[in-house]
Amino acid sequence: MIEKVIKNEEDCRDFGLALAERLKPGDVVALIGDLGVGKTTLTKYIAQGLGISEMITSPTFTVVCEYRSGRLPLYHMDVYRLENAGDVFESGIEEYMDGKGVCIIEWADMVAEILPDDTICVFMEYGENEGERIYRCAF
């Protein structure tokens, strides 16, 4: 695991754009971290890196938002409210991991059992200073 100090939104943007460059069809990105840590903000920058022109808004209400204007389709999910394995199975989110697009899953630790082995995990935490975040990931 590599630890990255994200000092401000600029750093978050650079991280998101760099991550977007290496994404390929079928990739699953797991964003793990507390409320307010910036999961949707990071997703915006990954989407920007994928060339998506639509506005990325929080998927909390609809669980899944699809965006198709970029280099790859993006499926942005928030699984916070899926309570158990049954809900997860019936929500159909596994069907999005079919290899055509990229899945970004917020609160992915809550659906750990369905994540593929090669999931790209980003653990996000608050840093010591205001606005600072710590990302831990394998790249």
- Residues engaged in binding another protein (CB under 8 A): 34-36, 38, 40-41, 55, 57-58, 60-63, 65-66, 80-83, 87, 90-91, 126, 130
CB of 81 to another protein, least distance (A): 5
Q: Pick the closer one to another protein by CB: 8 or 62.
A: 62
Q: Pick the closer one to another protein by CB: 51 or 57.
A: 57
Query: Edge-to-edge, what's the strand order for the sheet holding 64-67?
Result: 2-6, 133-137, 120-126, 28-32, 102-106, 74-78, 64-67
CB of 50 to another protein, least distance (A): 17
Q: Pick the closer one to another protein by CB: 51 or 92.
A: 92
DSSP one-letter code for 133: E
Residues forming a β-bridge with 31 = 106, 122
CB of 82 to another protein, least distance (A): 7
CB of 1 to another protein, least distance (A): 24
CB of 111 to another protein, least distance (A): 13
3-class SS shares of the chain: helix, strand, coil, % to 5: 30, 25, 45
Q: How far is CA 57 from CA 31, 64, 66, in A?
A: 16, 11, 11
Both tokens of residue 90?
Answer: 């019936």
Q: Pick the closer one to another protein by CB: 70 or 139.
A: 70
d(CA 111, CA 74) in angstroms, rounded, equals 19
Q: Pick the closer one to another protein by CB: 8 or 58.
A: 58
